[in-house]
Amino acid sequence: MSTPALELSGLKKSFGKAEIIRGIDLSIGKSERHAVIGPNGAGKSTLFNLITARFQPTAGTVKLHGEDLIGLEPYQINRKGLSRSFQITNIFPKMTVFENVRCALLWSQGYKYSFWNLVNRSRDLTEGAEAILEQINLTERRNLPAGTLSYAEQRALEIGITIAGGADVIMLDEPTAGMSHSETDYITDLIMKVTEGKTLIMVEHDMGVVFGLADRISVLVYGEIIATGKPEEVRGDPKVQEAYLGAALEAEH
Amino acid sequence: MTDQITTDPTKPSERMRAGSMTLSLGPWIVAAVLLAVLPFIFTNNSSITIMNQMWITVIFALAYNMLLGQGGMLSFGHAVYAGVGGFACMHIMNASDFFAALPLPVLPVFGGLFGMGLAMIVGSFSTRSAGTVFAMISLGVGELIAACSVIIVAFFGGEEGVSGDRTYARPFFGTEFLQQIEVYYLISAWVLIAAALMYLWSRTPVGRMANAVRDNPERAEFLGYSARWVRFYSFVASGFFAGIAGGLFAINYEILTEENLNTTSSGVILLVTFLGGVGFFFGPIIGAIAFTLLQTVLSLQTELWAFYAGTLFVATVMFFPGGLAGLMMMHVPVFKLGKARLLILPYLKTLLPALIGILGLSALVEMVFHVRHAAYGDDEMTLFWTTFNSHDILPWVVALGVTAIALGITRANAPALRDAWNEANTAGGSA
Amino acid sequence: MDLILVNIIDGLVTGLLLFMLSAGLTLIFSMMGVLNFAHASFYMLGAYFAYQISIALGFWMGLLLAPLIVGVLGAGVERYGLRRVHQYGHVPELIFTFGLALLIEELVQFIWGKNQMAYFVPDALNFSAFAIAGNSIPAYKIFMIFISIAIFIGLLYILTRTRVGMIIQAALSYPRTVEALGHNVPLIFMGVFGVGTALAGVAGVIAGPVLGTFPGMAFVLGSIVFVTIVIGGLGSLWGALVASLLIGWITTFAKSYNIEMADILNGIGIGTPENLDESLFRDFWTITSPQIADILPYILMVLILIFRPSGLFGKRHS
């Protein structure tokens, strides 16, 4: 097997005395769509934040295409080809939809911190941004301030920003959280479309989305992965059913 | 004219931002023509002096807005970069051999370089974060350098500052800049160049990312950009243009003192920029023009001009955080909908009495001030071309009456204006 | 040795005075996240009000009433000004308080004019308490120390031992939760703002007679107060105390001992250049400590912000 796209080993994170992530080993192959599920408070978002250097892990390593990510800043990780979205919508609300996407393209098109290029003179940028807008179905909204879009549209825009830079590993944190049924379908189709041929890691609560999208699923309970496998294997795993349903029931009461 | 706003959202907002989206030459040509023609309209020396001051403030305010408006960084010590640029230019003026070989119009570049150099040093640690920490460092560094002006006499000249003579420069196409009008054209040329460069800067990748970092630094980091470096580049560029403003100040006034560095100057530029509006590129330009007029014209009329300026500033922050530019741009959709006519009458009905009310209030303020502070026995004062005894009862009754009635009318007519405003901003209906 | 003792007392007076301002400021900051630029303006208002009251009713009524009026004004500013600007974000808030500081200074000049007020130490305290090696220590200084310490203890008691204090402490960190528990958080904010400004008012009342009551007094102290809470760590009451005393002592000692930069540099083994008068750095070499006493706090602050951005006692890394 070739180098996995993302490899976690012995990853741990404590906040004070509370150990939130208790040693995770996970390997995600290239072009795999991988979902992380688990009850509330299992540490899914923390896991995401550890991978993308929002938090520093207490122990363990994170490797992207075999390269160690620990100690890098978020922007350095992004430049290595890992891009993420956030649980709470995280866009540039005062800028137009088009500018949001264009900003996401700047680094990958090699503009860096240049002040000798004019952004609207670059056909690549404009066409690239328009292509992304087309993909996420927001062409008609292109000149509105992003903050004025509907919730589902903002989530779509965030996915657009996340994929725009051409990263080959995409991490989505609860992309359908708080959405209506039809909106969820729309976002699911969108994710399917835009992650074609890329590695996708997502945290998701909606089991319909998870089983519709994922090639493999990991179940995270109390900071540990209790099962990883194909959707049908995970679904049939009695340990998962017991722990996950048990914990889920517990969480509901 | 049916519901244009919702079915075709692209048009109005696109036009609203038209100034910032396209590189149209129109406004620049108009500005150039205006700059060239103005001295022929306002020919006397004092107007040219005022305009010189105005354009220098325009450059400084635009530079300041690169931080505040575009980068979301609030600086309380930005006068330092302009000041150091200016002091450097003064020293170049006094270095006779070098200066004799240098055409004067090039001098501000050196001011810019020195401002930029200082900004690079300070920015290397101050731009790590925006927000409060940045504001505090800017204040601390500002106070420090301002305090240094009396300690490091060799560079800052101590209490009396540094002065020089611009005419020792190498003649520029035969011009020695002996006259104010020649300096005016030098400054005008620079204001065009600097404003155009700053405008172009905002269209570059790093300029766009400055906006992104302002809105959401974390997201920007996950797009491959280090928020800190984006801030640093904005800061350095802003220091450069502030330095140019300082250099022009040196040329215009031929003296720089501690006043060019201190917190008051830094506060003034914040005031100017905010008054004009930080949300639009041209905001600081309007702010600089309005403030300079206020400062020069109003200060001739009343001792209390700083009090009025302060009141205006606080009122702006509280009620119109978009500043003058924001107020103007609010009306763009109305014009797009072709409904501006609807507003004329309500505006007259509300704003005219409001203006009279404000003038009445200021009359009361002036009268109180006169009663309290005029020399003993000096009971006569002149206000709005009328001379009266400030200790009589009649003027008070008149002023109070006029103010109360005018504000009453304003209040009564305000709901009508609000309705008209809503009507004018709603598409459809009979336009 | 005796001089050291005198300086310690002087520095303590300055430090505690600073603390009365910085305590309120840091409380306001940790609660609302806004640095109140106009805080020292309330200190100035305290002095002016006390002066005006003392003319009619004497010093002690001034001490009692002026802080109350200042507190009510402060609460009003929070209720009708800051709360409105809050919706636009932090930067406009900071700008608002900055504008307010300008406006209050103009207002004071408008009412009382530009000259220093004839506001003096009351006769009851205008004597020498004791003398150290010929340096007499005025009773008023001792009085200032006592007032400040009493206020600090009172504040500490209220914050840590009373129900209101508990709610305030909780509201500092979790305003939403406290609101959900049924407490009126906006009212608490207004109250804290009022109390904070009233404290500044007290400082103004007792500092006015010694430091002078004039329109620039807010400006003189204003930025130093900021520096204090930044050094102490934004939001930390203990940090504010330590930083206040530190600054009080540093500036007092720097002013009373004339140390030249050349002495320090020679001391660490750097020789003075031969022809100092022509050297570009001559001003640097001849700097003396009284000259830079007033900017030492700024240097300290910049260093702190570079090497420990959260301040001496700061917890949050904002």
Chains that touch C (3 or more CB pairs under 8 A): B
Please state at what angle helix C296-307 crosses helix B131-151, rounded to 10 degrees.
140
User: Average pLDDT, stretch B129-135?
Assistant: 83
User: Average pLDDT, stretch A90-115?
Assistant: 88
CA C128 to mean position of chain CA atoms: 26
Residues of C in contact with B267 (CB under 8 A): 98, 102
- Summarize pLDDT for C136-183 with one digit per residue, the tens: 788 888 888 998 889 888 888 888 888 888 888 787 777 778 878 888
| Alpha-carbon gap, residue C250 to C300, rounded angstroms | 10
The answer to whether C98 faces chain B, any CB pair under 8 Å, is yes
Distance from CA of C276 to the nearest CA of B (A): 12
Tell me, yes or no, whether chains A and B touch by having 3 or more C-beta pairs under 8 A: yes
Residues of C in contact with B270 (CB under 8 A): 95, 98
In this structure, what are the phi and psi dihedrals at residue A190, rounded to the nearest 5 degrees?
Answer: -60, -50
Q: Which amino acid is at B24?
A: S
Q: Are B311 and B373 in contact (CB under 8 A)?
A: no
| Alpha-carbon gap, residue B313 to A26, rounded angstroms | 58
Average pLDDT score over chain A: 86
Q: Are A134 and A140 in contact (CB under 8 A)?
A: no
* Residue A162 CB burial class (10 angstroms; 0-12, 13-18, ≥19): buried
* Residue A159 CB burial class (10 angstroms; 0-12, 13-18, ≥19): buried
Tell me, yes or no, whether chains C and A touch by having 3 or more C-beta pairs under 8 A: no
Sequence-separated (6 or more) residues with CB below 8 Å from residue C134: none
Distance from CA of C262 to the nearest CA of B (A): 14
The answer to whether B185 faces chain C, any CB pair under 8 Å, is no
Sequence-separated (6 or more) residues with CB below 8 Å from residue B404: none
Query: Is it the case that residue B430 has pLDDT exceeding 60?
Result: no
- Which residues are bridge partners to B386 per DSSP? B383
The answer to whether B317 faces chain C, any CB pair under 8 Å, is yes
More confident residue, C181 or A103: A103
Name the B residues in 116-155 with CB < 8 Å from any C CB: 125-126, 128-129, 131-133, 135-137, 139-141, 143-144, 147-148, 151-155
- Measured between CA atoms, the residue of chain A closest to residue B8 is A140
What are the tokens at A252?
């509901």
Mutate to test the interface with B, among C283, C294, C296, C316 (most CBs of B within 10 A): C283
Q: What local confidence, expressed as pLDDT, does residue C278 receive?
A: 64
In percent, how much of chain B has pLDDT > 70?
94
| Alpha-carbon gap, residue B328 to B330, rounded angstroms | 5
Q: Are B215 and A76 in contact (CB under 8 A)?
A: no
Query: Is it the case that residue B15 has pLDDT exceeding 70?
Result: no
Are the beta carbons of C90 and B310 separated by less than 8 Å? no
Q: Are B248 and B108 in contact (CB under 8 A)?
A: yes
Instruction: Please give the helix or strand (H or E) that residue C139 lies within, else none.
Output: helix C139-161
The answer to whether C88 faces chain B, any CB pair under 8 Å, is yes
More confident residue, B169 or A214: A214
In this structure, what are the phi and psi dihedrals at residue A151, rounded to the nearest 5 degrees?
Answer: -60, -50
* Residue B222 CB burial class (10 angstroms; 0-12, 13-18, ≥19): buried
Residues of B in contact with C223 (CB under 8 A): 139, 143, 263
Q: Are A218 and A26 in contact (CB under 8 A)?
A: yes
Pick the CATH number of B26-325 from 1.10.10, 1.10.3470, 3.40.1130, 1.10.150: 1.10.3470
Are the beta carbons of C110 and B141 separated by less than 8 Å? no
Are the beta carbons of B132 and C301 separated by less than 8 Å? no
Distance from CA of C232 to the nearest CA of B (A): 13
In percent, how much of chain A has pLDDT > 90?
12
| Alpha-carbon gap, residue B280 to B65, rounded angstroms | 9
| Alpha-carbon gap, residue B227 to B128, rounded angstroms | 8
Buried b (16+ CB within 10 A) or exposed e, B156-168: bbbeebbebebee
| Alpha-carbon gap, residue A108 to A92, rounded angstroms | 18
Sequence-separated (6 or more) residues with CB below 8 Å from residue B366: B302, B304, B381, B383
Average pLDDT score over chain B: 85
Residue of B68, B148, B369 with shortest CB distance to C110: B369
Q: Write out the residues of chain A at the interface with chain B, using a CB-CB cutoff of 8 A.
A: 52, 54, 73-75, 78-79, 83-84, 86, 90-96, 99, 102-104, 106-108, 111-120, 140-145, 161, 165
* Residue C37 CB burial class (10 angstroms; 0-12, 13-18, ≥19): buried
Are the beta carbons of B211 and A79 separated by less than 8 Å? no
Residues of A in contact with B333 (CB under 8 A): none
**DSSP code, position C270:** P
Query: Is it the case that residue B18 has pLDDT exceeding 60?
Result: no
User: Average pLDDT, stretch C51-74?
Assistant: 91
- Measured between CA atoms, the residue of chain B closest to residue C233 is B133
Q: Are B13 and A144 in contact (CB under 8 A)?
A: yes
Exposure of C303 in the CB half-sphere (CA atoms within 13 A)? 7
Distance from CA of A66 to the nearest CA of B (A): 20
Chains that touch A (3 or more CB pairs under 8 A): B
Q: What local confidence, expressed as pLDDT, does residue B10 receive?
A: 40
The answer to whether C21 faces chain B, any CB pair under 8 Å, is no
Average pLDDT score over chain C: 84
Q: What local confidence, expressed as pLDDT, does residue B148 receive?
A: 82
Q: What local confidence, expressed as pLDDT, does residue B20 receive?
A: 43
Q: What is this structure's pTM?
A: 0.87
Q: Determine which of A142-156, B156-170, C79-93, C251-265 has the lowest per-residue pLDDT on average.
A: C251-265
The answer to whether B332 faces chain A, any CB pair under 8 Å, is no
Name the C residues in 43-82 with CB < 8 Å from any B CB: 81
- Summarize pLDDT for B248-263 with one digit per residue, the tens: 999 999 999 988 898 8
Query: Is it the case that residue C220 has pLDDT exceeding 70?
Result: yes
Residues of C in contact with B155 (CB under 8 A): 283
What are the tokens at A26?
């996970």
Query: Is it the case that residue B66 has pLDDT exceeding 90?
Result: yes
Query: Is it the case that residue B247 has pLDDT exceeding 60?
Result: yes
CB atoms within 10 A of CB C143: 17
Q: By three-state DSSP, how is residue C145 classified?
A: helix
- Summarize pLDDT for A121-174 with one digit per residue, the tens: 888 888 889 999 988 888 898 888 898 888 888 988 998 999 888 888 999 988
Q: What local confidence, expressed as pLDDT, does residue A247 receive?
A: 56
Query: Is it the case that residue C317 has pLDDT exceeding 50?
Result: no
Instruction: Please give the helix or strand (H or E) that residue B167 lies within, else none.
Output: none
More confident residue, C44 or A206: C44
**DSSP code, position A115:** S
CA C213 to mean position of chain CA atoms: 15
More confident residue, C126 or B269: B269
Query: Is it the case that residue B8 has pLDDT exceeding 80?
Result: no
What are the tokens at B96?
């006779």
Are the beta carbons of A115 and B237 separated by less than 8 Å? yes
Q: What are the DSSP calls for B290-316, one per residue? A: HHHHIIIIIHHH-TTHHHHHHHHHHHH
| Alpha-carbon gap, residue C50 to C67, rounded angstroms | 8
Distance from CA of B200 to the nearest CA of A (A): 7
Indicate the domain borders of chain B: 26-325, 332-424
Distance from CA of A247 to the nearest CA of B (A): 33
The answer to whether B7 faces chain A, any CB pair under 8 Å, is no
Residue of B147, B151, B317 with shortest CB distance to C95: B317
In this structure, what are the phi and psi dihedrals at residue B247, rounded to the nearest 5 degrees?
Answer: -60, -40
| Alpha-carbon gap, residue C305 to B134, rounded angstroms | 9
Place of tokens 């914050």: C159
Q: Are A83 and A167 in contact (CB under 8 A)?
A: yes
- Which residues are bridge partners to B382 per DSSP? B387
The answer to whether B219 faces chain A, any CB pair under 8 Å, is yes
Distance from CA of B233 to the nearest CA of A (A): 8
Are the beta carbons of C98 and B270 separated by less than 8 Å? yes
- Which residues are bridge partners to C138 per DSSP? C128
Residue of B74, B271, B304 with shortest CB distance to C110: B304
Are the beta carbons of A93 and B216 separated by less than 8 Å? yes
Residue of A52, A74, A113 with shortest CB distance to B206: A113
**DSSP code, position A173:** E
| Alpha-carbon gap, residue B243 to B64, rounded angstroms | 11
Are the beta carbons of B267 and C102 separated by less than 8 Å? yes
Mutate to test the interface with B, among A118, A140, A162 (most CBs of B within 10 A): A118
Residues of B in contact with C103 (CB under 8 A): 307, 310-311, 313-314
Q: What local confidence, expressed as pLDDT, does residue B21 receive?
A: 43
Query: If pLDDT is split at 50, 70 and 90, which confidence band does A1 have?
Result: low
In percent, how much of chain C has pLDDT > 70?
95
Residues of B in contact with C99 (CB under 8 A): 271, 310, 313-314, 317
The answer to whether B175 faces chain A, any CB pair under 8 Å, is no
- Which residues are bridge partners to A19 per DSSP? A14
Query: Is it the case that residue C21 has pLDDT exceeding 70?
Result: yes
Place of tokens 């976690």: A8
Q: What local confidence, expressed as pLDDT, does residue C40 receive?
A: 92
In this structure, what are the phi and psi dihedrals at residue C136, rounded to the nearest 5 degrees?
Answer: -80, 140
Buried b (16+ CB within 10 A) or exposed e, A216-242: bbbbbbbbbbbbbeebeebeebeebee
